[in-house]
Amino acid sequence: MTYFSYGSNMLGQRMTARVPGARLMGAACLRGHRLAWHKVNVDGSGKCDVVPDSDSAVWGVLYDIDHEGKRALDGFEGLGRGYAEKRVSVEHGDRMVAAFTYYATETRGDLLPYGWYRDIVLRGALQNGLPADYVESIETVEVLTDPDDHRRRENERLLRD
């Protein structure tokens, strides 16, 4: 099955740690949506979401995963606990591809991501050669400092690998 990732799973190291059999298919674009950072996370920070918006587009990457990988990913993404799933049609090169993605069911407008989370999303965008203006829009997202030093260090380790 084909998964469209627009958040931290764009970073290859994160995705293969979560779904070892995932096969990267490359960059893709979801038209008619915008990227938001308002998904309520248990740690009090904001995580990525795709929100319908006819004037915008969300860039991300496609992965091919099997059913076992999908079950694992559902657990990591909190399917049924803050995220739901939907089918989308994305531009991949010169063709349209059907994929599934996750969207937030619990949002709050005043949330910001932790710096390490924004940086993982940013690194994934750079790693996959997403358009420069889109990368810049991620880079300029305001962030919070994670008060949990252990969690921050663990996640920042992904950025050093």
Every domain of the chain and the residues it spans: 2-160
Q: What is the CATH number of domain 2-160?
A: 3.10.490.10
Nearest to 90 by CA among 55, 61, 124: 61
Distance CA 123, CA 42 (A): 23
Per-residue confidence (pLDDT) for residue 160, from 0 to 100: 84
Angle at 77 between CA 71 and CA 79, to 5 degrees: 70
Within a 13 Å sphere around the CA of 47, how many CA atoms are in the beta-carbon half?
A: 21
Distance CA 76, CA 122 (A): 19
Angle at 136 between CA 49 and CA 88, to 5 degrees: 35
Each of the 161 residues of the chain gets a pLDDT tens digit; together they read: 999 999 999 999 999 999 999 999 999 999 999 999 999 999 999 999 999 999 999 999 999 999 999 999 999 999 999 999 999 999 999 999 999 999 999 999 999 999 999 999 999 999 999 999 999 999 999 999 999 999 999 999 988 86
| 3-class state of residue 116 by DSSP | helix
- pTM over 0.85? The answer is yes
Per-residue confidence (pLDDT) for residue 158, from 0 to 100: 86
